[in-house]
Homo-oligomer: A and B are copies of this chain.
Amino acid sequence: MASFILTDLAQNTWIDSFDLTPAQLGLANGEDWSVSKRTLRGGRRDGVDMIHINHRTLSMAIVPTRGMGLWRGSYQGHALGWKSPVLDGPVNPAFVHLSDRGGLGWLDGFDELMVRCGLEQNGAPYEVALPASDGSIARHVLYPLHGRIANRPAHHVSVHVEDSPPHAITIEGRVAESTLFHTQIEMTTRITTIPGSNGLTVRDEFVNRSDSPGSMQLLYHWNFGPPYLGEGSEFVGPIETLAPRDPRAAEGLDHWTTYGPPETGFAEQAYLARLQGEGPDGRTLAMLKAPGGDKAVVLRFQKAQLPCFTLWKNTRGLSEGYVTGLEPATNFPNSRPFEEARGRVIPLEPGASFVAETTLEILDQTHEVAAAEAEIERIQAQETATIYQRPGEPFTAEG
């Protein structure tokens, strides 16, 4: 395997720009891919590292500075990602203040195809009033929307290319959420794609670097806009149980799997689900089918790793964030205390690790889409889906 270290703080390694092609590795003709890295300048992206992988079919921009998130990509010329109201991203976390806007500061940088939420907590912001010894409020602690990990720059970044065909390309990054008296978890992500393939795999390993037991929450916020999202798009997934997050989501329950056109001022709807899976690890998949059914994006993951699934429908106007989120996670995006009381945190003993892997597949043939749908139907057939009409336990607080 050929490996190149782009950033490694422990070794004082940092490379300002980087370009790699098959020829540099002495690979045979016919290979057609590149990996490059640039440091962006100007605006709120000043100082942001960006890695581009390009191969015949897929391109993907990965942002080490934003917690190794996936910014945007394209497959066979079709955009992967969405058009966020953030006009000037990817935003350097130095310009994102999570505590702003009552804990919604995270939104100031939110424009990714895939952004991780966690690790101490994810989900809705909440505030805890710490009592003074006399019972009055000493001070307020705000737990911000979706946590810190997306706004932590990677302290190690490297590129690996397999020696033997099909010469899988991996971008490795390490990101720490580690502070005295708090969470001490280091993530190592390996984002792998095979040149010419129709997707990539994100494999994340989280290690508790503390001597004390710890815990974490993790949600993968995969976000898709056009052309995969459009009027008539359909969500397809093997549902075990599903509930609307709130009364607003309940309003849309009779057509929760289908998407409308961009609708100005549309108020978001979210559905919380347990999917069905196969085998001991609960292998499963979820699909967003484009209008007409000739294209789709599919996420594959395991319930053993990511037992909770949130579907976020945000079909606002095209200029204000027409997007849907497919969100496999360890928990539902409620406040951590709510989730913890229901056992939805991942305990991590000292030195122990938790691994989560998600594969993104992009389909551009009607028969491929049909095959994925058939696969989902096969899993669905194991058990009838239970759809709750109102928000409530154990998904969320009673509505």
Contact = CB atoms under 8 A, between A and B. Distances in A.
Contacts of A84: 180
Interface in A180-224: 180-182, 184, 186, 209-212
A186 B144 CA distance: 26
A97 B95 contact: no
Among A16, A157, A350, which residue has the most Cβ atoms of chain B within 10 A?
A: A350
A95 B98 contact: no
Contacts of A316: 211-212
B182 A43 contact: no
A152 interface: yes
A184 B85 contact: yes
A92 interface: yes
Nearest to A38: B12
A102 B138 CA distance: 10
A318 B351 CA distance: 13
A104 B179 CA distance: 10
Contact of A108 (B49, B86, B102, B179): B179
A157 B107 CA distance: 25
B103 A210 contact: no
A210 B94 contact: no
A49 B262 CA distance: 38
Contacts of A12: 40
Interface in A97-154: 97-104, 107-108, 110, 125-128, 130, 133, 137-142, 144, 152-154
Interface string A40-71: 11111111010000000000000001000000
Given A43-B154, A154-B43, A320 B210 contact: yes
A interface, over-half SS: loop
A154 B87 CA distance: 11
A337 to B, nearest CB: 13
Stoichiometry, as copies per complex, reads 3
Chain A residues touching B, range: 35 or more
B102 A317 contact: no
A293 interface: no
Contacts of A139: 102-103, 125-127, 140, 142
A102 B142 contact: yes
Given A94-B95, A102-B130, A139-B126, A43 B350 contact: no
A186 B87 contact: yes
Contacts of A41: 7, 14, 16
A127 B178 CA distance: 25
B180 A107 contact: yes
Nearest to A129: B137
A23 interface: no
Interface of A: 7-9, 12-14, 16, 40-47, 49, 65, 84-88, 92-95, 97-104, 107-108, 110, 125-128, 130, 133, 137-142, 144, 152-155, 157, 176, 178-182, 184, 186, 209-212, 262, 264-265, 316-321, 350, 397
Given A46-B47, A87-B178, 17 more contacts: A7-B42, A12-B40, A14-B41, A43-B153, A43-B155, A46-B65, A85-B179, A85-B180, A85-B209, A87-B209, A88-B155, A94-B95, A99-B100, A102-B139, A104-B181, A211-B318, A212-B320
